[in-house]
Structure 1
Amino acid sequence: MVDSSGGVLYPARLPEFHRLPATGAAADLAAWFWIPEWDIAPGCSSRQEIVGYPALNLVVEQSGVTVSGPTTRASHRDLRGRGWAVGALLRPAAVAALVDDPAALVDTVRTLAEPSLQAEVAAAMASGAGHRDRAVETFSRWLVERVGPLDESAHQANALVEVLGGAGAALTPVEAASRLAVSVRTLQRMAHRYVGVSPAAMIRRRRLQEAAQLVREDPGADLAAIAAELGYADHAHLTRDFQAVLGLAPRTYRAGLSG
């Protein structure tokens, strides 16, 4: 199992939640699979607040299958009753086979007519002990068959996301383009075609997610030091990013972690 807190603003408020790694051929198509399961008392709700990764998510629920694009701000969902979801954080290599224009999906959710995927994942989720592993196996198998063989451009698009968001990620689009041995313009076209947002936006979102995670891990950490560690010009720049995307200042976010 992989880390389950990245991108989740208030992990303590989550219902039962798991992230499972993509394996085999599916590892080129999904960064991971995420599965929340909830059973909320009648008349109550559980608000889940997320600052999404700069990527598309393919999600199966009892009601059907949806694909959601990258977001420009924090989002939330109020969970009620009893339910589950099985989502795949898609790698760029899978996007071209599923979506014609990912930029049109920014801040948008679209329903997909994939009844066989929905039925097979739902059956796995209802299958008893080991249901999450079976759901991921089913989802992975469908994804590999649906996408088919990958060409060189798909692999290069995956490399783009690793350079912009992986360990030791590039700090600027120019640095990312240099690492990939392409022009900045080519880098921008790849990001638009396979992700839907600009390389600069991907870098900003990664830094903001890392900042939020550092605040969660050490609520007493100095915010100026976090800003410097992540390459922000100064503490004020970090605060502006928090305000623009999350709608609150870092200190306010830190105070809310104990709520």
Structure 2
Amino acid sequence: MANSTGGVLYPARLPQFHRLPAVGQVAELVAWFWIPEWDVEPGHTSRQEIVGYPALNLVVEQDGVTLSGATTRASHRDLRGHGWAVGALLRPAAVGALIDDPASLVDHMRTLDEPALHAEVTRAMATGEGHRDRAVSVFSHWLVDRVGAPTDAARLANAMAEALAGDGGALTPAEAATRLAVSVRTLERMAHRSVGISPAAMIRRRRLQDAAQLVRDDPGADLSTIAAELGYADHAHLTRDFRAVLGIAPRTYRADVEE
């Protein structure tokens, strides 16, 4: 999961966008940090359409701090005026310290009362050159202090997420369970407790993101070949997934991107 615009359906429409690595202790808690900054002309709107990774996001913005759950559908946000956000794509090891039941947050978000985090990140974003690195640094220190050292169970949950949603991820829950030397039932419990959606749903979301990227990045790629490469039964299966989540077919998406 290293592509700088992975999950963003129309990268050319993005405002200024940066993805920063999680380093040191926070790397066990965060997959990466993401920072959009925008300055939209008065009276105009920049619509950002996203197919989120199968994970939770902790986000600091000017208005406050929010925790967003895993998503089962595409979403969008309309950006106006001047603003920024500093988000952390959370690994499962961080989730338990922030919410007891991540399944209750699927396709939703909630505001968190975290004034210290908000103040430190806001202060960092208001500085000059290097503000993004400083924002990530204070965010990282806050999260490490909040969560503490991951347990063995938390590290296994991280491995579960990588097996299901990481680069080279499994094509089926059974394959992921075999990689981790656990039962499929244990895999299902880990996914529910730490992400809130099923292993199968995590795999479907990863495959759809990969498919969207391949359709977008290689206009000449054959859709049947893409479907086979990603483990879809056939081209029709890929098209059904696209329509179910994005509301459009792969060919329509490709044409929209090329506009």
Q: TM-score range by the shorter chain?
A: over 0.9
3-state SS, counterpart of residue 97 of structure 1: coil
Question: How far apart are residue 109 of structure 1 and its match?
Answer: 0.8
Corresponding residue for residue 202 of structure 1: 202
Corresponding residue for residue 85 of structure 1: 85
Letter in 2 for 1:122: T
Contact in 1 for aligned 2:54/2:165 (Cα 8 Å): no
More displaced, 219-228 or 86-95? 219-228
1:54-203 matches, cutoff 5 A: 54-203=54-203
3-state SS, counterpart of residue 77 of structure 1: strand
Root-mean-square deviation (Å): 0.7
Letter in 2 for 1:185: R
Letter in 1 for 2:91: R
In 2: Cα distance, 1:4 partner to 1:34 partner:
9
Question: How far apart are residue 166 of structure 1 and its match?
Answer: 1.9
3-state SS, counterpart of residue 84 of structure 1: strand
In 2: Cα distance, 1:19 partner to 1:225 partner:
30
In 2: Cα distance, 1:52 partner to 1:3 partner:
13
Corresponding residue for residue 40 of structure 2: 40
Cα shift readout 1:153-176 (whole Å, capped 9, x = no counterpart): 000000001111223211110111
In 2: Cα distance, 1:255 partner to 1:156 partner:
41
In 1: Cα distance, 2:256 partner to 2:219 partner:
11
In 2: Cα distance, 1:31 partner to 1:96 partner:
16
Letter in 1 for 2:57: N
In 2: Cα distance, 1:96 partner to 1:103 partner:
12
Corresponding residue for residue 3 of structure 1: 3
In 2: Cα distance, 1:37 partner to 1:3 partner:
19
**How many aligned positions are there?**
258
In 1: Cα distance, 2:156 partner to 2:25 partner:
16
3-state SS, counterpart of residue 52 of structure 1: coil
Gaps of 5+ in 1: none
Cα shift readout 1:59-78 (whole Å, capped 9, x = no counterpart): 00010000000111100000
Question: How far apart are residue 5 of structure 1 and its match?
Answer: 1.1
Corresponding residue for residue 50 of structure 2: 50
Corresponding residue for residue 21 of structure 1: 21
After TM superposition, which residue ranges in structure 1, 4 or more long, deviate above 4 angstroms?
A: none
Letter in 2 for 1:221: A
How high is the TM-score relative to the length of structure 1?
Answer: 0.98
Cα shift readout 1:13-37 (whole Å, capped 9, x = no counterpart): 0000000000000000000000000
Cα shift readout 1:165-210 (whole Å, capped 9, x = no counterpart): 2232111101111111111110000000001000000000110000
Question: How far apart are residue 124 of structure 1 and its match?
Answer: 0.2
